[in-house]
Copies of this chain bind each other. A is one copy, B any other.
Amino acid sequence: MTDTRWLDETEMAAWRAFLSTSHLLERRIEEQLKAAAGLTHAQYEILVRLSGAPGRQMRMTELARGVVASKSALTYQITQLEKAGLVERTTCPSDDRGVLAVLTETGMRCLEQIAPGHLEVVRRYLIDRLTREELEVLTAAMRRTEEALRA
């Protein structure tokens, strides 16, 4: 509170661009997924994480960390995905408190079907507009702040 470190032009420009772009991209992705499969981006990310996990299953808490969602938000979304038949709940054998979210065959097929359309959006607006070097700079920068935020 003593003396405020404001952002200079370069810093402010970076922050504003990052902020606007992430929100705009989020919007577009949401729109595409809703139209293509009636899914939320949050739901899509859950399917992706599960599909990449051993046994296509994950503990609720671990999954929540992965997709950056609160525990209650994940509980809600898993319930929705369960109703849609894309995910199932299993009690964790090694921990009676635990719950395993498991990707069903239907869920896996659904994901394979909508992934191309989703990735097309990610490509068109972000990935294909960056050079190889920019991609690497972006990754390094993001990982540094991600690491700080996970602590």
Contact = CB atoms under 8 A, between A and B. Distances in A.
Interface of A: 1, 4-7, 10-11, 13-15, 17-28, 45, 68, 115-117, 119-120, 122-127, 129-130, 132-146, 148-150
Given A68-B20, A115-B4, A119-B5, A14 B150 contact: no
Given A14-B138, A136-B10, A139-B10, A146 B4 contact: no
A10 B11 CA distance: 26
Nearest to A131: B141
A116 B1 CA distance: 7
A146 B17 contact: yes
B122 A15 contact: yes
Nearest to A69: B23
